[in-house]
């Protein structure tokens, strides 16, 4: 039976989600990749153990994470039941619904029918009575926002989630959602959106400013731009890399000569800061306090160790920030 490290809380920092009392670790563990039906169970176990031993208390899932959809929740549920159950009250477990999950008109979107049914399925797969955070995973133009947010309100009232969040929303829609949820006294605490040195869309669509003004947290996914903001591709494309094994989210065409020149330039800035490129990239996302946490994935424990150290909110100089912008912005 797994025994957690007694030093697990000594090196990780924790920050409140906006104005709420909920704290998340600076680094959270995302199970988007490497927890599907094609992954080795022992490796998944070791990843979860390594994360928790590093003080990573937040494990982030979604109904359709796999492949196949649902398998990440099933595998995490097995690990939780067999190894991590004594630590459940030290963990934040989140899941989501919004994208395609099952066939027919009720298997995606933002309807009350779909959101409630999906969470019931997620809880069953993970063997849980409740999740700590339940997200609507994406905006749905075919469903009134009142209905989607009303489903989140009823889910909290039912005791199946402690807090709610939204993911992949823009700033204007987030403001409208917040108004509905706050009027219902529903604990809306966090937004999950893509954010990295190479992807600053949350600044362009107003989400970052809206979260700041309303006192909501932000958790950033893809903070390493699907691995481009690491040293992984500096000397070519490894045979076991995501590009070679799963080209759905990053393909070879993304690594143009221009992009590689930017990556090498950023690597130089990181080295001068005494960090790896990935550490600096995560630190950059966390530089503003609107961002509560960064979500990282991993295929081996050593990646978690690298990404959970030396990335606390170490200040950047104005010169460093200007240099990063000059390198990365078109």
What pLDDT, in 10s, does the model give residues 158-212? 999 999 999 999 999 999 999 999 999 999 999 999 999 999 999 999 999 999 9
Distance of CA 111 to the CA centre of its chain: 23
User: Taking the CB of residue 144, how many other CB atoms lie within 10 A of it?
Assistant: 12
- Residues 6+ away with beta carbon under 8 Å from 128: 77, 80, 93
Question: In percent, how much of the chain has pLDDT > 90?
Answer: 85
pLDDT on residue 247: 52
Q: What are phi and psi of 275, to 5 degrees?
A: -125, 160
Mean pLDDT of the chain: 93
Contact 43, 240 (CB under 8 A): no
Read off the CATH number of the domain in which 186 is found.
3.20.20.100
Contact 238, 232 (CB under 8 A): yes
Contact 168, 139 (CB under 8 A): yes
User: Taking the CB of residue 115, how many other CB atoms lie within 10 A of it?
Assistant: 29
**Where in the sequence is the domain holding 160, given as residue range(s)?**
16-234+278-314
Contact 1, 83 (CB under 8 A): yes
pLDDT grade for 234, boundaries at 50, 70 and 90: confident
Tell me if 10 is assigned to some domain.
no
pLDDT on residue 257: 87
Contact 213, 241 (CB under 8 A): no
What pLDDT, in 10s, does the model give residues 50-101? 999 999 999 999 999 999 999 999 999 999 999 999 999 999 999 999 999 9
Task: Provide the number of structural domains found in the chain.
Answer: 1
Tell me if 179 is assigned to some domain.
yes
pLDDT on residue 252: 60
Query: What is the rounded average pLDDT of the residues 255-268?
Result: 90
pLDDT grade for 150, boundaries at 50, 70 and 90: very high
């Amino acid at each position: 039976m797994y025994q957690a490290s007694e030093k697990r809380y000594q090196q990780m920092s924790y920050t409140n989600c906006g104005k709420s009392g909920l704290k998340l670790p600076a680094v959270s563990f995302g199970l988007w990749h490497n927890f599907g039906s094609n992954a080795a169970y022992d490796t998944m176990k070791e990843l979860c153990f390594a994360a928790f031993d590093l003080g990573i208390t937040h494990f982030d899932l979604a109904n359709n994470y796999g492949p196949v959809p649902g398998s990440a929740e099933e595998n995490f549920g097995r690990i939780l039941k067999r190894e991590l159950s004594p630590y459940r009250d030290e963990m934040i477990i989140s899941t989501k619904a919004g994208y395609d999950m099952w066939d027919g008109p009720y298997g995606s979107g933002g309807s009350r029918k779909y959101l409630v049914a999906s969470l019931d399925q997620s809880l069953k797969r993970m063997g849980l009575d409740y999740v700590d955070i339940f997200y609507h995973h994406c905006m749905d133009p075919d469903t009134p926002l009142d209905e989607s947010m009303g489903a989140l309100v009823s889910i909290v009232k039912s005791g199946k989630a402690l807090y709610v969040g939204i993911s992949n929303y823009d700033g204007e829609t987030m403001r409208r959602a917040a108004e509905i949820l706050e009027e219902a006294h529903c604990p809306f605490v966090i937004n999950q959106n893509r954010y990295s040195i190479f992807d600053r869309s949350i600044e362009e669509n107003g989400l970052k400013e809206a979260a700041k003004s309303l006192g909501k947290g932000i958790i950033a996914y893809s903070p390493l731009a699907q691995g481009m903001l690491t040293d992984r591709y500096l000397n070519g494309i490894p045979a076991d890399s995501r590009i070679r094994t799963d080209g759905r989210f990053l393909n070879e065409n993304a690594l143009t000569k221009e992009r590689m020149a930017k990556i090498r330039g950023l690597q130089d800035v990181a080295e001068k800061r005494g960090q790896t490129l990935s550490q600096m990239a995560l630190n950059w996302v966390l530089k503003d306090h609107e961002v509560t946490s960064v979500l990282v994935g991993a295929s081996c424990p050593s990646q978690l160790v690298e990404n959970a150290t030396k990335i606390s909110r170490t200040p950047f100089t104005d010169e460093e920030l200007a240099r990063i912008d000059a390198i990365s912005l078109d």
